Structures are given as structure tokens and as C-alpha cells.
Amino acid sequence: MNIDFIILAAGKGTRMGGNSPKVLANLAGKPMIQHLIDTVETFHKAKTSVIVGHKGKEVESSISSRKKINYVIQKNQLGTAHAVKQATTLLRKNSVSVVLYGDAPLVTRKTLNKLVNSATSGRLAILTYRKEDPSGYGRIVRGPKQNIVKIVEHKDAVSKERKIKEVNSGILAVKTTILQKLLPLIKNNNAAKEYYLTDLIEIANKHSIAVRATLCEEHEVGGANSRQELHDLERSYQKRLAESLLAKDVLVADTSRMDIRGSTQIGKGSFIDINNVFEGQNKIGKNVHIGPNCHIINSTIKDNTVVYSNTVIEGCEVGANCKLGPFSRIRGGSELTDGSELGNFVEANRSKIGKGSKAKHLTYLGDARLGQKVNVGAGTITCNYDGKNKHKTIIEDGTFIGSNSSLVAPLTLGEGSYTGAGSVITKNVPKGKLAVGRGKQVNLNKKK
């Protein structure tokens, strides 16, 4: 059966602070609602409608999707049932409608499948979870054959009902034909004069439609309505991401002290020390060792490489058996070939480091191409910018760069050549030659 997802995303999110819609608050590197979009897109032939209100265009422009999404404006926020009603004309008659919330973004595909399967038999399927301290939450009251009779709000619950630990998530699934039949029967006979989707349960029971619970884990339906709740959701989610790595034979030093903000794959046998941040799309190979306090962004690191502490890698590819850091920074699409090394306070930008080449101390390599087994001495810089344009420095195989050299691009240093320490090299150096470009030393008598 087809699935039509309805995501409610019209809230202002006043308690979040700022002026952006609540569903755009960042969770693990992307807007909360994007997590839901990524999940629902895994369902074949599913259609998605997003109900927007406050700054709807901002919500629409912030969502990334491979499939078409229907955006529906809820001009006046008159309750959850009113929000769902805005999308009813877009729903397919031969579908199951699933109502989700943009500020409760972590429900899994597996759980949604269970919910949909429950609804396909003509039931109203409600997603519920058990909460150790259910104070303030609507209790699930079951009747004969485990049918849900009603949801009782905490303030209205009697002593026996308050002992119930199963609570309502708000997420539900039902055949679209049933939804379209029951939705108009919801009234706004309450103090807020709003139309509540939870009233469907009582209406369904009156129409002899079974209301059944699908239990899930609490972390799947945790929402965020304030900065504190968003913080707690982030920390809970990050811990689960780290624990999932442990299950894949990745050693994590402390699951509460690493962040994955995007999508990061890490191979078996790798070790992740404390306070590491992985941002964007990353692929880490097998048996990689990443020391503390590193920041890795949109990069690939291949097998058996060691990244020492406080190293930043952004938009780069690092080969196998490399060594980086501590305090290195590589960026701008730089590429480290297998077995190369960049050490303490070395920066590489738009550069390629050949197999077995090394720059181990206090060096800047900008727009540089290093061949194989090049040795770059401490304090070396490639002077690649002339004030208007960037120029390349080509250092061929086996070249030795003396400490504190300044290589003024455009420049080529031939295979097996050398530069003397403290040299400023402005002209090409032929193969095997030693280039010395320094001022003549003069020793003067000290004035009395």
C-alpha cells in the first residue's frame, strides 16, 4: 500500500529563541526536519506533504530532497487536526497516511514500517513509548484486547491512570479513507478553540475502528521545543551514534565526547579519541587512529593512517599509512598520497603530497605539488600569492628543501635537487643541483 507522509512544521518555536522556524533548529549538523525528510525518502513511492506556517519559504528553501515535496500553508495555527486537514486534498485514497512532527525528528524507518503495517488492516495506529517519569504526559489507557480507549492528560488523570507509564508520541498512521472520514468530526470545544488530532481516538472508538499502539523507544520520539530540550536531544543522539560505532568494532574512547554532524563511516579496528568532531560527509578507513581534539570535515582518510591531536582536515583525501599532526591543518582539496607525513604546525592548501614525502615542522605548502620522497625542512613556505594570482610550486622526486626556505612561485625544483637553509629561491632549480639564495654573511667588530 502507498504511504502519504504529513509532516507538521508550522510552529514558530518561540522558546527556541531567535526568529527562525523551530523545525530548522540544528541537530547533528542539519535541520531537525531534514532528519525526517531523509527517513521518509527511503520509502518507495511514498509522497510527502509538509505543513508550513511561520516563515514557510525559509523552511522550504532549507530542505534538501531528491523527491518532490508538497508544501502546504497553514495560515492560522488552529491545532494539529487543523494542520493535517490542510493536506487532505493531496492524499491518495489507496494510501496510509502517517502524521509526523518536524520537531520530533528521530523516528526510525523500522518503527514507521511497524506503524504502517498496523494501520493497513484498518486500524488507527498510534505510536507510543514508555517513560519512567511520565509526569505531564498524556497516558495511554487500554481497554479490551489491548485497544486504546483514550488518552488522558496528566492534569485530568485519576490516581490509577497516573501510574501508567505508556504515553503518547503524537505520531499516528491510518488509512487515508478513514482519516478523511473522521477528520471533519473533530470539534474545537476546548478553552484554546483548537482542533486536536488526539480526538481521533475517541471518534474512532465510536465508529468501531480499532485503535492500537505501536511501542517504540523513547529516544525515537524525543522532541525539542526549547534550547534545553534541543541540547538534551543532541547529546542523547550523539551518544547513540557513538555507541553504534562500538557495535561496528570501532573503539571510541568516550561516547559522550565526540560529535558526528552529518554522515561519517568509520572502518573496523579504528580508534577515536576524545573531543573529535566529524562534520559533513566523511569516510574513515580501517585501523585509523585519530587522536584527541581533531576536526574532520568532508574528507576521506584511508587505512592505517594516524592523525595526532588537534589536527584539522577539511575537504581532503588522506592516503593509507600517513601521519598527520599534531596541530596540522590540511584543506582546499589537498591530497596526501600513501605513506606521506605532515607534522607539527604544518598547513597544506590545494596541494598534493607524494608517496613517502614529509614536511614535519612549521611549514606552509600552498598550491604545491610534491613528488615522491621529498623532504621539506622546518620553517619552509611556498610563496604562492603575488597579490593578484596564485602560482604553483612543483617539487620533484627526491628533492631536499633546507630549513627556513622561501620558495617563490611559480617555481620548479628538479628531481634530486637541494636548497640551502635560509634560502629565498626565485628561479627554477635544475635536476640534482644545490640552490643557495641568501645574503652574504658579514661579521663586524662591535662598536665600543
Q: What angle do CA 266, 322, 262 make, to 5 degrees?
A: 30
Question: Which candidate, 157, 162, 172, 156, places its Cα nearest to that of 134?
Answer: 162
Residue 423 near residue 417, CB atoms below 8 Å: no
Q: Is 361 designated active site?
A: yes
State the DSSP string of 68-105: -EEEEE-SS---HHHHHHTTGGGS-TTEEEEEEETT-T
Distance CA 149, CA 155 (A): 18
Q: Which one of the listed residues 219, 295, 361, 391 is annotated catalytic?
A: 361
Within a 10 A sphere around the Cβ of 331, how many other Cβ atoms? 17
Alpha-carbon distance of 21 to 55, in angstroms, equals 7
Rounded CA-CA distance 326/43 in Å is 44
- Angstrom CA distances, 87 to 3, 188, 195, 383, 387, stand at 14, 19, 15, 60, 57
For 52, phi then psi, to 5°, come to -115, 160
CA distance 225 to 102: 11
Contact 314, 330 (CB under 8 A): yes
Q: Which residue, chain included where needed, has cell 523527491?
A: 67
CA distances in angstroms from 323 to 277, 304, 328, listed in the order given:
19, 9, 10
Distance (Å, whole) CA 11 – CA 59: 11
- Catalytic residue positions, numbered: 361
